[in-house]
Amino acid sequence: MKTAADIIGQIHSGLESDKELIEKAYNFAAQAHDGHKRYSGEPYMVHISNVGFKLAAMGMGPRTVAAGLLHDTIEDTPVTTLDIKREFGDEILFLVEGVTKLSSVRYYGTDRHNESLRKLFVATSQDIRVLIIKLNDRLHNMETLSHVPPEKQLRIARETLEIYVPIAHRLGMGKIRKELEDLAFPYVYPAEYKRVIEVLEKKNGKYNETLERERKVLQKRLADSGLLDFHTSFRVKGLFSLYHKLKRKEWDIAVVYDLLAMRVVVTSVEDCYRTLGIIHELWRPLPGRMKDYIAFPKPNGYKSLHTTVTTQNETILEIQIRTKDMHQESEFGIASHLMYKQPVVTAGASSKFANLIPSLFRPFSRRAAVDEKIKEDSAVPDKDKIPTWIKQIGTHSTKDSNSEEDFISDMRDDFFSNRIFVFTPIGDVVDLPVGATPVDFAFAIHSEIGNHMAGVKVNKKLVQFDTALHNGDIVEIETKKSAKPTKKWLDFAKTSVAKRHIRSTLEAQIN
């Protein structure tokens, strides 16, 4: 189990008060969850501390980490919102409550409403930090899914693929997306998973050894060419994304050119192009495979140079060249704007010259307290660094957006604030304007339901027809043949569909 000290060891801040906060949240959670067990039989704190650790390790601030440690207290223990508020204040309470609310958003297995569900999910969270906590919570739950009763495994894994993976993707969080989809893959598509493994085994590649060998060749050449500061790493393609590619390529793994990839992370765009030149001199590029995503970024903002080469050992490698900023952006997406520190570039060794250039490639640096201003936890990121795709999220907004508002509130205001998403009892999602009532809901489902609405339950409780609905509400309409709309309904119906139907029914009654 991760200890409070392990987690504190990961945070960027050197402030005593931040360490105390994390220690306090850790102890508070340990006490609240005392006696609770996971399905695995392990103490519940194994889960809690792991989520806190993941958040700290990815560079989130102390309040986000503390909220991560407290994320299951309100839902699963006698701890109340008042307790959290008293002990930890409003900001942490807001985050913990946000995560708690998200747990009521469930995947019901109706494929056609995935997009609404994702919107509901994001709308319910409001603060992007809530989503980041939730994604790490789900990541640890997926890592331990084998202990969960089999009948629950499939639902959780499908929910992961249908809801969490697309959210991580949308937020540009490539690293967690890959981890989540590869963990869910064998549960959701067991036969396909087996087939991918078989294809890989038939190819019989000792991928890691091959990659390590080629990496040494590349490192030497880059250093010999006078490149001062670079970092290399490699990866084998994720199984789930390999599966999708194999489907497109008629299961011929020989034409999957990005099965093995090498990454070179450098310090400037200029060095990216220089590195590309050095690599094309070292290894023979495959024609037509060069992609300049720096000059032409992908729609989700991804930037890198890609090329595919054949090495002297006949290994086909995709090479991805990027700056450290681009790398961080591709791994952590929106979260990278909230981070305190540069996270570690995975599985690599930096060049022998790295020490000459301080501040670069120093993993898990804890120097910030000394030579860097401490960022606010609720970061207001550098506006110029906000990728275009995030700015574009709110393109339907008529609001003048060249103000200094940070993107968290931009997302909240522009993207979701005008709509709510509510459920039918069988889990279908209905998309309505803010302020909509059960009458709007009923007519959105079907005019006959609206025209004969006799009663309504929201979250299983009887309510008045003019009750404002909220995100995530489950709405159940009772109909009676004799029931009819009244003039009063026009006062609280919000949608034009509902108003039109009410008016025409009223007119029909008079005539």
What is the residue-wise DSSP string for 123-151?
A: HHH-SHHHHHHHHHHHHHHHHTGGGS-HH
What is the residue-wise DSSP string for 333-379?
A: GGGGGT-SSPPPPTT-EE-TTGGGSTTSS-TT---HHHHSPPPPSS-
State the minimum distance, in angstroms, from the CB of residue 511 to Mn ion: 59
Active-site residue identified among 76, 83, 143, 325? 76
Q: Report the residue closest to Mn ion, judged by CB.
A: 137
User: What is the three-class DSSP state of 90?
Assistant: helix
Active-site residue identified among 6, 23, 75, 91? 75
| Cα 380 to Cα 368: distance, rounded to the nearest angstrom | 18
Residue closer to Mn ion, measured from CB, 137 or 159: 137
Neighbours of 432 (CB within 10 A): 22
Residue closer to Mn ion, measured from CB, 147 or 399: 147
| Cα 436 to Cα 125: distance, rounded to the nearest angstrom | 20
Residue closer to Mn ion, measured from CB, 99 or 276: 99
State the minimum distance, in angstroms, from the CB of residue 138 to Mn ion: 8
User: What is the three-class DSSP state of 476?
Assistant: strand
Phi-psi region of 380 (alpha: psi -120 to 50; beta: other; left: phi over 0): beta
Residue closer to Mn ion, measured from CB, 41 or 299: 41
State the minimum distance, in angstroms, from the CB of residue 51 to Mn ion: 6
489-496's contacts with Cβ under 8 Å and 24+ in sequence apart are: 489/439, 489/465, 491/466, 492/437, 492/439, 492/465, 492/466, 493/437, 493/439, 493/440, 493/443, 494/432, 494/433, 494/435, 494/436, 494/437, 494/440, 495/432, 495/433, 495/436, 495/440, 495/443, 495/444
Judge whether 151 counts as a catalytic residue: no
Residue closer to Mn ion, measured from CB, 30 or 368: 30
| Cα 167 to Cα 171: distance, rounded to the nearest angstrom | 6
State the minimum distance, in angstroms, from the CB of residue 47 to Mn ion: 6
Binding site for Mn ion (CB under 5 A): 72, 137
Sheet-wide strand order for 461-462: 461-462, 453-458, 475-479
State the minimum distance, in angstroms, from the CB of residue 48 to Mn ion: 7
Judge whether 209 counts as a catalytic residue: no
State the minimum distance, in angstroms, from the CB of residue 137 to Mn ion: 4
Residue closer to Mn ion, measured from CB, 4 or 278: 4
| Cα 357 to Cα 284: distance, rounded to the nearest angstrom | 32
- Using an 8 Å Cβ cutoff, are 52 and 69 in contact? yes
Residue closer to Mn ion, measured from CB, 144 or 241: 144
State the minimum distance, in angstroms, from the CB of residue 142 to Mn ion: 11
Active-site positions? 75-76
